[in-house]
Amino acid sequence: MTDVLTSFFADGTRVTAVPRRDDPRLVVAGAGVGERWRNSSLFPGHSRRGRLYRAAMRSLAATGLLQRRIGDEIEQPSWVRFLNGELPGATAAAVLVGTAGPTQMITVELRNPDGRIAGYGKYAELPKAITRLLVEADTLRRLPPGIAPLVLRFGDWENGKLLLTTPVVGHKVSPTLPPAPAVDEYLDQLPRGGLYAIREHPMIRRLVEHAPGCAVWLGPLEGSWPTVVQHGDFAPWNLRHVDHGIVAFDWEYATTEGFPGFDLAYYWMQTQSLVQSRGPERALEAAAGAVSSHLRESPAAGRVIAKLAMLDAFLIGREDGHPDDFPNQAWRLELLGDAFA
């Protein structure tokens, strides 16, 4: 996949690749230190160790020590033809390579000549990654306006699929708990579908199919439950504060057959695991309390929903190619051992 990275930059562009030229995670354009530092903000990092590594990689990118020129001529990159007139004048400022695995993608940050973010592109080549990108494009087109990016273009490019969206321009959501009230308010805006008995709910049926032992958890959830649009990776780093509230991006894990409370539980669990370094049982209790309060359900129901949300996240992690001893997977598995009995 790395062969396609430089296709997003015009020939003649000077780019810096970190951590290594021959195996880059991030490629940034920029003539000066300040511009390279700004463009390198796309590099992720959520855990304490991740934030330190992010700072180191951004600093390395800013120095330009690994800078090189792409080609000898100044030619328009091939992806500009894909834009078909969208975002005129925008150029690639940074290209991020996703975590290696069957769902690996490339993310492109586009900026206007004045430095403002113009949009984002996502490119997928591998079959499972393409499926994820199809889900994201379809979900974004279904959502009400104002709560997610808009799809500008989606289609074939190079050896895969490319999705172009509008940017989400706003302030980062602080990874503190409890979250701002706007986070709960945002989740209440997501569309709902029909009602199902708990054991007939599409999400629950999928979880029981993959982890039969979780069926014994369902007692506190007896009754009817709606399907909901579920983001699937609802965490502070995938949200922005804007003028009218919260907007979420990165919808490749979305489903229209989600379960109420899963996104909120995931938000609490991810923040506690990656940011606060809390143990899984303590984190589960806090997430369960937040879910039961938000849904006006019993504490027992809140605990089951939070635990099922972690099971959903664990199974998605397996689909992404993460082994069970991968740190975040192992953290979840401490809570889920009886699900696979």
User: Tens of pLDDT along 254-269?
Assistant: 999 999 999 999 999 9
pLDDT over 60 (residue 72): no
d(CA 206, CA 200): 10
User: Tens of pLDDT along 140-159?
Assistant: 999 998 999 999 999 999 89
pLDDT over 80 (residue 222): yes
User: Tens of pLDDT along 261-312?
Assistant: 999 999 999 999 999 999 999 999 999 999 999 999 999 999 999 999 999 9
- Which is more confidently placed, 7 or 187? 187
Confidence of residue 192 (pLDDT cuts 50, 70, 90): very high
Mean pLDDT of 221-229: 97
Confidence at residue 109, expressed as pLDDT on a 0 to 100 scale: 95
Which residues 6+ apart lie within 8 Å of 167 measured at CB? Answer: 117, 118, 119, 120, 149
Confidence at residue 85, expressed as pLDDT on a 0 to 100 scale: 80
Q: Which domains does the chain possess? A: 2-165 (no CATH), 171-340 (3.90.1200)
Token pair 């700004």: residue: 38
pLDDT over 70 (residue 249): yes
- Give the mean pLDDT of the chain: 92
Is the separation of the CB atoms in 146 and 170 below 8 Å?
A: no
Neighbour-count burial for 242-274, b at 16+ CB within 10 Å, e otherwise = eeebbbbbbbbbbbbbbbbbbbbbbbbbbbbbb
